[in-house]
Amino acid sequence: MTATIKDVAREARVSVASVSRALNGTGGVTPATAQRVREAAARLRYVPHSAARSLITRRTHAVGALMPDLHGEFFSELIRGIDLEARSHGLHLLVSSSHNGTEDAAAALRAMQGRVDGIVILSSPRVDAEFLKANLPDGLPAVLLNSDVRAGAVVLNIDNFAGTYAMVRHLVGLGHSRIAFISGPKDNFDAQQREAGFRAAMGELVPKAPLRIVAGDFGEASGYQAGLELLASKTRPEAVFAANDMMAVGCLQAFKEAGVDVPGEIALAGFDDIPIARYVTPPLSTVRVRIAELGKNAMDLLADLMDRPGLSAASVHTLGCDIVVRESCGANRGGAAASTSTSTTKKIRDPSNR
């Protein structure tokens, strides 16, 4: 059926060994014969059998991406970043997404055993340290994304802390001090870090302001509820900072229905910069996460790890966020230029320029 290395060898009148050497660019072959082999291979449309190669090489030239069941932009951008970088490393990408339970993820992990040379794992609350210890085939290079596992692994995190901190600084710079926070799910790693960043920033920047935190779950409805709750309180906040954009959007809706002007009466900010953020009215100020870059960096870390011998150096890396200033926080009325606040966290002016 399909041509094999023997066919090429016969066609080029050399041994299979020479064909292998010529095609792989391993030395030890004359330019002339290399050329002859290449021609023969092209003539026969020869493409090496990857399984046979993997069998002896112990390398699959593929990496896996394991992620929980998530929709939308985050998923696609992450895959995009990983895929692009993987291809530039000559690697294939095996995707296994949409896992809910631990046993689901464990099965996927097992199934990837031997099919990939490394793996990028996007953590969910269920996928924690002991889960990985139990299910991750040891010796398999892995990079963990947004994980609180700190022991013996390579971890790459979004700098949620710095992001929230910078946004609080921005809001404070605008003159607000009574800033309320809508938090995310208790078991979510990003949510925890964002709340921590908020607490730290408030404590350091406006230490005498009251700390108001209302619970949310990253869903739009919980943001709406939080908005109602905040409106009902005796002293309304000057600004509301939601731990993600969906909640900010829900909160905005509550404000709108109550006839509260944003940002006139209350300023509003979110986190993530989902596409919707720039299309609500007023456009939402938020913290942008460069997700594709997160994927790219994860893939780079993984590639490094795979080149390394067995030595898997544990390390923690972070990827900075950008403050994107639109109208919902009230800073963008005039034409003030953007300024950089941190080395990793840039401030961007984005006047909903659709």
Partner DNA sequence: GAGCCGAACGTAAACGTTTTCACGAACGCT
Partner DNA sequence: AGCGTTCGTGAAAACGTTTACGTTCGGCTC
Nearer to DNA, 21 or 176 (CB): 21
- Could you give the dihedral angle defined by the CA atoms of residues 307, 312, 314 and 315, in that order, rounded to the nearest 10 degrees? 0
346: number of Cβ within 10 Å = 17
Residue of 10, 11, 25, 27 interacting with DNA (CB under 7 A)? 27
Residue that the structure tokens 């094999």 belong to: 4
Nearer to a second copy, 39 or 69 (CB): 69
**Nearest partner of 274 among 106, 75, 111, judged by Cα:** 75
Nearer to DNA, 62 or 289 (CB): 62
Residue of 10, 38, 53, 178 interacting with DNA (CB under 7 A)? 53
Q: Which does 275 bind (CB under 5 to 8 A by kind): DNA, a second copy, none?
A: a second copy
Nearer to a second copy, 75 or 218 (CB): 75
Nearer to a second copy, 198 or 271 (CB): 271
**Amino acid at the residue 299:** M
The span from the CA of 24 to the CA of 9, in Å, is: 14
> In the bound complex, what is the minimum distance in angstroms from residue 243's beta carbon to a second copy?
18
Burial of 56 (0-12, 13-18, 19+ CB in 10 A): exposed
Handedness of CA 167, 169, 172, 173 (dihedral sign): negative
The DSSP H or E segment spanning 56 is helix 50-57
Question: Strand pairing of 239-242 and 267-269?
Answer: parallel
> In the bound complex, what is the minimum distance in angstroms from residue 249's beta carbon to a second copy?
7
Output the furthest CA–CA distance in the chain (Å, rounded).
Answer: 90
Handedness of CA 170, 189, 71, 87 (dihedral sign): positive
CB of 166 within 8 A of CB of 345?
yes
> In the bound complex, what is the minimum distance in angstroms from residue 258's beta carbon to a second copy?
15
> In the bound complex, what is the minimum distance in angstroms from residue 108's beta carbon to DNA?
19
134 binds DNA (CB under 7 A): no
Nearer to a second copy, 221 or 336 (CB): 221
Q: Which does 4 bind (CB under 5 to 8 A by kind): a second copy, DNA, none?
A: DNA
41 binds DNA (CB under 7 A): no
20 binds DNA (CB under 7 A): yes
Nearer to DNA, 39 or 257 (CB): 39
Q: Which does 232 bind (CB under 5 to 8 A by kind): DNA, a second copy, none?
A: none
Burial of 294 (0-12, 13-18, 19+ CB in 10 A): buried
> In the bound complex, what is the minimum distance in angstroms from residue 8's beta carbon to DNA?
7
The strands making up 286-288's β-sheet, listed across from edge to edge, are 286-288, 322-325, 346-349
CB of 238 within 8 A of CB of 264?
no
> In the bound complex, what is the minimum distance in angstroms from residue 2's beta carbon to a second copy?
8
Report the interface residues with a second copy, using CB under 8 A. Answer: 1, 47-52, 54-55, 60, 62, 71-73, 75-77, 79-80, 83-84, 87, 92-98, 108, 110-115, 139, 220-221, 224, 249-250, 253, 275-276, 279-281, 354
> In the bound complex, what is the minimum distance in angstroms from residue 324's beta carbon to a second copy?
17
CB of 234 within 8 A of CB of 199?
no
35 binds DNA (CB under 7 A): no
> In the bound complex, what is the minimum distance in angstroms from residue 135's beta carbon to a second copy?
11
Chain residues binding DNA by CB under 7 A are 4-6, 13-21, 23-24, 26-30, 32-33, 46, 48-49, 52-53, 55-57
